[in-house]
Amino acid sequence: MADAYAKLCRFAGMAISDYEMIQDGDRLLVGISGGVDSMMLMHVLTRLQQRAPINFQVFGIHINEGFEGLNHAPLRDYATAHNWNLKIIDTPIARLIKEKEAEGRPCALCSRLRRGFIHGYADEIGAKKLVLGHHRDDLCVSLLMGLFRGTGLKTMGPNVPGDGGTKRVIRPLCYAAKDLIESCADAFQFPDLGTCDYSDQLDESGDRAKLERLLKTLETEFPNIGKSMLHSMQDVRTAYLLDKHHLNLPHGGPPA
C-alpha cells in the first residue's frame, strides 16, 4: 500500500505542477462525496500540504442530499479523527428530484443543485478553487461520452474556470488510474455511508456506467488503454479533425 500511495501522491504532484493548479496562499475547497476517490484526494492533499514548499489551506465540503439510503454521520466522525476541516450541508435535493419529477434523470438536477450549495460555501469561506476527485478513467469516459453522444471532443479539464469565471475547478488526480486509487483505499478504512437511492438505476442504464464497463472490456484488447487515451488527450492535433474553426482552408471557408 505504501508504494501505491506514494505513487498516487507523485501523480497528483505532477498534475498540480503541470497544470499550475495550486499557488501560495490558496484556499482550496474539496468536494467530498464519501466515495473512495474524493476521500483519497483529501488524504493526498493534506499530505502534500505538509510537504509542499508553498502554503495553502484545505477545506472539505460534503452535501447531504437527503437520500434515505445514505448515512452521513460516519463521515463526520472520520473527518474529526483525521483533523479535516469538513462542512456537511443538509439539503432538500432528494425531495426536489421527486417534486420536479426528475427521477428518470436524477443526476442532472442533483449535480446542478449540489454545485449551487458548494459555490455558496466557497464564497462564504473565500475559497477560489474547487477541488474534485475525478481520475484518469473519469476523463477517458467523459471523452467517450462526448464522442458517442455527438457533444464534441471534450473531457473534464484539469484546471478550468468555474462559477462564471469567478473560481477555478481543479482535478489533481487526473493522471491516476481508478485501480491505483482503489489499491490505496483499504489501508485507510473509509466509512460506509450507504448508497444513493438511484444507484442501481444509474448502474444499469446510465451512460457513464455503461462506458466504464466498455473501458474495462477494451482494456483486455488494448492493454494500458487509459494511459494511451491520456496521452492522446495531451496531444490534440486539430489539423486532423473536422472543426472548420481550426482548419486552414484554402479559401477561408468550407467547400461549396
Domains assigned to the chain: 2-229 (3.40.50.620)
Distance (Å, rounded) from C-alpha 116 to C-alpha 167?
13
Tell me the DSSP string of 183-244.
HHHGGG-----B--TTHHHHHHH-HHHHHHHHHHHHHHHSTTHHHHHHHHHTS--GGGS--G
| 210 phi and psi angles, rounded to 5 deg | -60, -45
**Residue 197: CB partners within 8 Å, gap ≥ 6?**
67, 68, 69, 94
pTM: 0.93
Residue 87 pairs in a beta bridge with 61
pLDDT, tens digit only, all 256 positions of the chain:
679 999 999 999 999 999 999 999 999 999 999 999 999 999 999 999 999 999 999 999 999 999 998 999 999 999 999 999 999 999 999 999 999 898 888 888 999 999 999 999 999 999 999 999 999 999 999 999 999 999 999 999 999 999 999 999 999 999 999 999 999 998 899 999 998 888 888 888 888 999 999 999 999 999 999 999 999 999 999 999 999 999 988 876 554 4
